[in-house]
Amino acid sequence: MAHHEVSTTVDVAPNILFDYLSDVQNLPTYLPRMTGVHETGPLPETAQGAEARRPKEPVHHEVEVTAEEPSGQSVRSEAWIDVVEENRTLRWGAPGDSDYHGELEVDFVADGTSRLTVRLDTEHADDPAIDDELRKTVEGIKTSIQGWSPSSA
């Protein structure tokens, strides 16, 4: 199993950055190859607010994603996304035999500044192309958040 990690600072308050990243519908705006996402099941009742969940209990999303491979071929797959608001963490993975999963965390640095860390674990051998994709993803997040505001969501 190969572990990959990329971090950067983003000049956006942590709560605003996490609100943007944790909205499943925003995924295609900041993931370079993702072209679509939709929920495949209803959200649990605990998705209605933190008061409906135990501390640090994630809101679980079952989704289908559409992405474009480097070859240009479009692919669809099932995935899951867990959102943990209290510690601003988003975890994801794909069901099945592969052990593909990852997470991102948003941490406070200073007023109006966050630290974004993205981690990815995959069964593929260490591959510099994966690190390049992670860097592109982090840069995509920084670029896309600049044009987003909570009122435009």
Tens digits of per-residue pLDDT, 90-113? Answer: 998 887 766 678 899 999 999 999
The answer as to whether 23 is a domain residue is yes
What is the C-alpha separation between 67 and 1, in angstroms, rounded?
A: 23
Domain for residue 77, yes or no? yes
Structural domain includes residue 51: no
When divided into structural domains, the chain yields a total of: 1
Expressed as residue numbers, the domain containing 122 is 2-44+56-152
Which band of pLDDT confidence, cut at 50, 70 and 90, is reported for residue 13? very high
- pLDDT at position 18, please? 93
- Domain membership of residue 95 (yes or no) is yes
- Answer yes or no: is 111 within a domain: yes
Global confidence as pTM: 0.81
Cβ 30 vs Cβ 142: under 8 Å: no
Instruction: Please check whether residue 7 is in contact with residue 106, taking contact to mean a CB–CB distance below 8 angstroms.
Output: no
pLDDT tens track for 122-151: 876 677 888 888 898 898 888 888 666 665
Query: Which CATH number belongs to the domain containing residue 11 in this structure?
Result: 3.30.530.20
Within a domain: 49:
no
Tell me the C-alpha distance between 27 and 9, whole Å. 19
